[in-house]
Amino acid sequence: MPVAAKNAVVIVNPRSGLPFRRRQPGEIASVLSEAGVNNSVAIIAQHENIAEIARNAVKHGADVVIACGGDGTVSAVASAVVGSQTALGVIPLGTLNHFAKDLHIPFDLAAAARIISQAKTDSLDVGEVNGHIFVNNSSIGIYPAIVIGRERRRRTGRSKPVAFLQATLQALRRYPFLDVRIDAKGDRTTQRTPFVFAGNNEYEIKGLHIGSRHSLNQGRLYLYVAAPVSRLGLLGIALAALLGVIDKTKSLQMFGVPEAFIETPQRVIAVSADGEVLRLRTPLHYVLRPRALKTIVP
């Protein structure tokens, strides 16, 4: 279903992605204009709230809010437009761009702008944890610990890859485990685990396309719970994932459910949602919102 793309607000996160991939806001606006998309540009300053700027755009009648950045930027904009008649547009300028890859949105700026100008939309699912939206995934356990450590090191001047490696090694040394009780569709399971991963629809866990999704509107929340393993076993899981054979290790339990409750002994826990870390009260309530996000797609 096409939408009008005449009134677009472009939100540019100048800190997203690798330096050589960053584009100037004026260039983005110009390429969109050449593609036939009339737009105004909002450049995100250091402490500005992306979601709040996007909510303002929706309030003032924007047809499309275009997220120019990585998955965190896309997720913040999505949280503002979800459930409205305003469409999400994506120009992938981040480091990994998982959401754009799963939608087959090209990384080339002009090609992405042409897709937005064509204004074809689809209604996609979003995940939610305790009221916080995510378009890709959310997790508890070792990954939020790594992100917290990475950001702490980046504030001291380390590059993102170096900070990530150091934070990963520290997290493995601490060997974090969680005792969780998961209630999904009336089925309860209790387990000690290094992580629980919740995906907005099913993630591929084998082969060359591991970590990707074939669909973002099948209406299912997928939970992946890691078996209790040693430090070496945790590294083995990571290696198996890189080789595309994690399904053969039998190290992950998978549940496809519309919603789930996760209890832990901690009253407040670090939770990642599309790479951003939140501190949320338990129990965590994960739910899928089917077809709630109008999105411009190829």
pLDDT per residue as tens digits for the range 158-183 = 877 787 777 777 777 776 688 999 99
- Which residues have a Cβ under 8 Å from the Cβ of 46 and sit 6 or more positions away? none
245 phi, psi to nearest 5 deg: -125, 25
Q: Which two tokens stand for residue 211?
A: 């970590």
**pLDDT per position as a tens digit, 268-277:** 999 999 989 9
SS3 31: helix
Judge whether residue 2 has pLDDT over 50.
no
CATH 3.40.50.10330 range(s) for the chain read: 8-119
Between residues 58 and 239, the one the model is more confident about: 58
| CATH fourth-level superfamily of 8-119 | Probable inorganic polyphosphate/atp-NAD kinase; domain 1 (3.40.50.10330)
Give this prediction's pTM.
0.86
| Residue closest to 284 by CA, chosen among 126, 76, 132 | 132
Tell me the average pLDDT across 81-102: 94
Q: What is the mean pLDDT of residues 54-78?
A: 94
Look at residues 153, 162, 10 and name the one whose alpha carbon lies nearest to residue 93.
Answer: 10
How far apart are alpha carbons 239 and 247 in whole angstroms?
12
Query: Band of the pLDDT at 114, cuts 50, 70, 90?
Result: very high
Residue 14 has a pLDDT of: 77
Residue ranges, CATH 2.60.200.40, the chain: 133-290
Whole-number pLDDT of residue 110: 95
Instruction: State how far the Cα of 115 lies from the Cα of 102, in Å rounded to an integer.
Output: 15
Residue 45 CA, chain-centre distance (Å), reads 21
* Domain at 133-290, CATH from 3.10.580.10, 2.60.120.560, 2.60.40.10, 2.60.200.40: 2.60.200.40
